[in-house]
Amino acid sequence: MKFKVLLPSEVFLDEEVEKIVAEAGNGSFCLLPRHIDFVAALVPGLLTYADEKGQEVFLAVDEGILVKKGQEVFVSTRNVIRIPDLGQLRGVVEEKFKVLDDKEKAARTAAARLEADLVRRLMELSRT
């Protein structure tokens, strides 16, 4: 199967795979090449796939959508991390999401400043 993982700004992964195991709100599921076309809303968790050599690869994914159509499987998500070794999962995820949290805090601070400036200027306009 052709497997693509899509982020808002880039194609994270584009590979041939033998199987995919993911998790939706109602539990885990496995996709093989001859399975029926399928759509699922993914929950944050692990997504595992077997590459053409049979090696298991682990991805930590945020919420997203998985679509299987024919021999193609697409996953669209906001965040994904490749986990080199399942034993390193916790450390890698914590490190990656800490960076994302820091960026989100900076963005929220900037938005709050813009909002406060807008309110201040509107108050100045109403006084005149």
pLDDT above 90: percentage of residues in the chain? 48
Total count of domains within the chain = 2
Write the CA distances from 120 to 110, 117, 123, 124, integer angstroms.
15, 5, 5, 6
Same domain? For 3 and 20 the reply is: yes
Strand partners, 61: 45, 80
Q: How many CA atoms lie within 13 A of 116 on its CB side?
A: 6
More confident of the two residues 13 and 92: 13
C-alpha 109: how far from its chain's center? Answer: 24
Give the least confident one: 18-32, 39-53, 89-103, 104-118.
89-103
pLDDT score at 105: 75
Domain of 109 in residue numbering reads as 86-128
Same domain? For 7 and 67 the reply is: yes
Task: Give the predicted TM-score (pTM) of the model.
Answer: 0.69
Check whether 22 has a pLDDT greater than 70.
yes
Q: pLDDT category, 106, cuts 50, 70, 90? A: confident
Residue pair 61/42 in contact by the 8 Å Cβ criterion: yes
Same domain? For 90 and 70 the reply is: no
Same domain? For 22 and 50 the reply is: yes
